[in-house]
Amino acid sequence: MSRVQTLDRPAQASIRRRSGKLRDSRITLSHGSGGKAMRDLIDDVFVGSFGNAVLEPLEDQARLNLTDLVAQGDRLAFTTDSYVVDPLFFPGGDIGALAVNGTINDLAVSGARPLYLSCSVILEEGLSVETLRRVAHSMAETARATNVAIVTGDTKVVPRGAADKLFINTAGIGVIPENTNIAAERARPGDVVIVNGTIGDHGAAILCARQDLALRTTVESDCRPLHDLIDAMIKACSDIHCLRDATRGGVATVLNEFAQAASVCIRFDETSIPVREPVKGVCEILGLDPLYMANEGKLVAVVPKDSAEAVLAAMRAHAAGREAAVIGEVTAEPESVVLLRTVFGGERIVDMLVGEQLPRIC
Amino acid sequence: MKYVDEFRDPVKARVLLKEIEALVLRIAICRQRPLQLMEVCGGHAHSIFKYGIEPMLPKAIEFVHGPGCPVCVLPMGRVDDCVALAEHPQVIFTTFGDAMRVPGSKKSLLQARADGADVRMVYSPMDALKIARANPHREVVFFALGFETTMPSTAFTVLRAEREGVKNFSLFCNHITIIPTIKAILDSPELTLDGFLGSGHVSMVIGTAPYEFIARHYRKPIVVAGFEPLDILQSVWMLLKQLTEGRCEVENQYQRVVPDAGNDQALIAVGRVFELREFFEWRGLGSIDHSGIRLKESYARFDAERKFSVPNLKIADPKSCQCGEVLKGVIKPWDCKVFGGACTPETPLGALMVSSEGACAAYYNYGGVDLARLIRARAEEAPAEAGT
């Protein structure tokens, strides 16, 4: 299937900046052709929303000031993620907010301060321009609120059927301050495991937003940036051992990653895990486990025991950590295993998922 | 959730456990060997593992995880037939989610979808009918699967399709019935089972009477059980009580859901569209007489097997698998040679590793620490063995 390539921008683009006005109501292949239609789309939808000094020259690349970066730390954090969520809009968020927050969080869990994002979109022919505008607006709002600049991007249009409505890729750059060393392999026996709030909200919200289930709930996605919360946590404890955002695969997967990377055992308690009632209900009906449900604003932290109180207090003082809770502890044996004490008082292993979590039939 | 939390109360559990411990001491068999209780239904196995119930019980009680996982017992040849139907260019193949991963001899439905087949996951057969209405120029096949629990909803869907005159909807019928299978297990010469937990979901449809022969003819107690952890503990307690008192009866622990007479309307719908097959092949157990269900001749136009040609080949279970012995409680999952080595949830060889409700998969995923060590050791040996 032929993909229409974006061509380099004409040299005078910067002179004509913001002059483009998109009048079409649907995306067509011409919006990815490199010609006037594409220029209008970029000017009107993206530059108009994202507007910042690094983006606006509209060169083929963003140029970042090294001196500014070096002043903030001694390592760059660099990450990329693609967003293909369906539906594009769901209670608590949309693909645009997700694309900004998700990449910010991937940077932030290293302790980095997120600074710059790229935004690359793949549009399916026939997408409504109004939808694209809403998504771009949401990305811009989210970036503004988090003090992160979207500084470069790309647009491709593929024929109808070659993609599903709209895909977004964002890459991000942040700076890690000196002496910050957060890594999965640093979990040590005696450490305490903390989550910043209720788990499974995003996964449950997306399941319910898909019309085919006809489940109505009040649950909203937890889609939100975590860098500010993490900043507060690091201020409370400069030696946080591990941090990861519990996106696909959920909290269970992150705990397994920690246990394996550090060759330790993580024991946690089912009763201490915050789960909203409607999320429990959705999982109960569909035979799913909230421990494996995706989150978009939840992190799992492993901290030294003597700092746990301080970190927990700092988290609870922050809007993104009000319902933070200690869920378990790290022990030496049996290594590389995650053990759950069930609500019922039994104990069992919690392993990585094999493939996708599929609903049980009975 | 307030309706289920009370059935998960650890304080009540401790009280029951104490009574169970006291009863065990009064049962003579327990002094010679562990008491073997079979939970027939995959849903029970799931709860037992999810809540970590087995390690809480006295060592003198062992659960034997029965054949009640319809996804597990589906023979490979039937999965191949599914794939063949799904790959028909005219067909939209609709299925419950957990059947998608079951391996056929060449591929699973998930792999068939990746190869281009139109396979869609549905939550109910009514969803499949809806897809048929929306796509009048395609043939929509629903993969009907499960015991008496799911049979009525399939039957109602067929009756509805008939009423609405939908012509592009059919079933690939793999419904099975539990009673002949329990009988086959009871007739097995190696049998050492001492009692049964009957499936609450199946009984909700068929009632408790069909189990009478287990108590009367085979002299084994059976308790129809619910699926919450306290339901299971109470049912174990009821079984032990029968054993200490020398009774063999059908008792109903799940009275809040299961009427002793079953569900008339569901049974009438099932009786209108379905009939027993002469025999049906079960993965791990072989062919069992009158254990499969198919559409009656008068509903043949809704039968995908009659509408399309399917290969209908019998594929033997891999020789190295000991699923049958595990199902009958003769060996424990980890006693099987290939458990955790060549046979894992990623690459299941045997029926019981296929679905999360299969006994082997449950032990693999939820088992204790010692089992985790064993699995790791076998995984390291596995590459050498996998080629054999």
On whether both A248 and A342 belong to a single domain, the answer is yes
pLDDT digits (tens, 9 = 90+) for B154-212: 999 999 999 999 999 999 999 999 999 899 889 988 778 999 999 999 999 999 999 99
Separate counts of helices (H) and strands (E) for chain B: 16, 13
- Paired with B196 in beta bridges are B38, B222
On whether both A331 and A215 belong to a single domain, the answer is yes
Is residue B102 within 8 Å of residue B94, measured between CB atoms? no
Amino acid identity of residue A202, one-letter, is H
Domain boundary, last residue among A128, A154, A176? A176
Residue B317 lies in a domain: no
In what order do the strands lie in the sheet containing A265-269? A242-245, A299-303, A192-195, A325-331, A265-269, A337-341, A347-349
Domain boundary, last residue among A176, A206, A238? A176
On whether both B329 and B378 belong to a single domain, the answer is yes
Instruction: Tell if the CB–CB gap between B96 and A359 is shorter than 8 Å.
Output: yes
The CATH number covering residue B161 comes to: 3.40.50.11740
pLDDT digits (tens, 9 = 90+) for A120-163: 999 999 999 999 999 999 999 999 999 999 999 999 999 999 99
Backbone angles phi, psi at B227, to 5 degrees: -115, -5
Judged by DSSP in three states, A173 sits in strand
In 3-state terms chain A splits into helix, strand, coil percentages (rounded to 5) of: 35, 25, 40
- Paired with A156 in beta bridges are A122
pLDDT digits (tens, 9 = 90+) for B327-359: 777 888 889 999 988 998 888 888 788 777 788
How far apart are alpha carbons A207 and A217 in whole angstroms?
A: 10
pLDDT band at B378 (very low <50, low <70, confident <90, very high): confident
Instruction: Tell if the CB–CB gap between A362 and B42 is shorter than 8 Å.
Output: yes
On whether both A112 and A223 belong to a single domain, the answer is no
Kind of pairing between the strands at B119-121 and B169-175: unpaired
Chain A residues within 8 A (CB-CB) of chain B? 212-213, 277, 280-281, 284, 286, 334, 337, 339-349, 351, 354-355, 358-362
On whether both A153 and A284 belong to a single domain, the answer is no
Q: Scanning the structure block, which residue is given the tokens 């500084």?
A: A151
Looking at residue A95, what is its pLDDT?
96
Angle, helix B264-273 to helix B151-164, in steps of 10 degrees: 60
State which residues form the domain around A126. Answer: 21-176
- Paired with A337 in beta bridges are A265
How far apart are alpha carbons B53 and A347 in whole angstroms?
A: 8
Backbone angles phi, psi at B141, to 5 degrees: -110, 130
How far apart are alpha carbons A260 and A266 in whole angstroms?
A: 10
Number of CB pairs, chain A paired with chain B, less than 8 A apart: 100
Residue A265 lies in a domain: yes
On whether both B339 and B197 belong to a single domain, the answer is no
Is residue B146 within 8 Å of residue B293, measured between CB atoms? no
ipTM of the complex: 0.77
On whether both B290 and B266 belong to a single domain, the answer is yes
Residue A11 has pLDDT above 60, yes or no: no
Domain boundary, last residue among A115, A147, A176? A176
The CATH number covering residue A290 comes to: 3.90.650.10
B346: chain A residues, CB-CB within 8 Å: 354-355
On whether both A230 and A340 belong to a single domain, the answer is yes
Least CB–CB distance from A362: residue in B150, B346, B366: B150
pLDDT digits (tens, 9 = 90+) for A51-95: 888 888 888 899 999 999 999 999 999 999 999 999 999 999 999
Q: Scanning the structure block, which residue is given the tokens 């980890």?
A: B334
CB atoms within 10 A of CB B243: 23
Least CB–CB distance from B10: residue in A277, A344, A360: A344
On whether both B278 and B152 belong to a single domain, the answer is yes
Domain boundary, last residue among B205, B225, B252? B252
Least CB–CB distance from B56: residue in A343, A345, A360: A345
Q: Which residue of A has its CA nearest to B12?
A: A344
Q: Which residue of A has its CA nearest to B125?
A: A361
On whether both B108 and B165 belong to a single domain, the answer is yes
On whether both B90 and B162 belong to a single domain, the answer is yes
Least CB–CB distance from B98: residue in A284, A347, A361: A361
Compute the Cα dihedral for B382, B384, B385, B387 and give only its sign.
Answer: positive
The CATH number covering residue A94 comes to: 3.30.1330.10
B99 CA: distance to closest CA in chain A (Å): 9
A277: chain B residues, CB-CB within 8 Å: 1
How far apart are alpha carbons A285 and B369 in whole angstroms?
A: 30
Q: Which residue of B has its CA nearest to A338?
A: B369
Mean predicted confidence (pLDDT) in B99-121: 92
A351: chain B residues, CB-CB within 8 Å: 365-366
Backbone angles phi, psi at A12, to 5 degrees: -85, 5
Residue A3 lies in a domain: no
pTM of the complete model beyond 0.90:
no
Residue A102 lies in a domain: yes
A362: Cα within 13 Å, side-chain hemisphere: 26
The angle at the Cα of A255, spanning A251 to A260, to the nearest 5 degrees, equals: 150
On whether both A168 and A207 belong to a single domain, the answer is no
Is residue A222 within 8 Å of residue A296, measured between CB atoms? yes
Looking at residue B350, what is its pLDDT?
81
On whether both B241 and B194 belong to a single domain, the answer is yes
State which residues form the domain around B127. Answer: 76-177+262-307
How far apart are alpha carbons B237 and B17 in whole angstroms?
A: 8
Q: How many domains does chain A have?
A: 2
Closest CA to B357 of B23, B165, B101, B20: B101
Least CB–CB distance from B52: residue in A212, A346, A359: A346
B292 DSSP 8-state letter: B
Judged by DSSP in three states, A174 sits in strand
Residue B318 lies in a domain: no
Q: How many domains does chain B have?
A: 3
Is residue B70 within 8 Å of residue B145, measured between CB atoms? yes
How far apart are alpha carbons A53 and B181 in whole angstroms?
A: 73
A355 burial (CB, 10 Å; 0-12 / 13-18 / 19+) is: exposed
Start-end of H helices in A152-219: 201-209
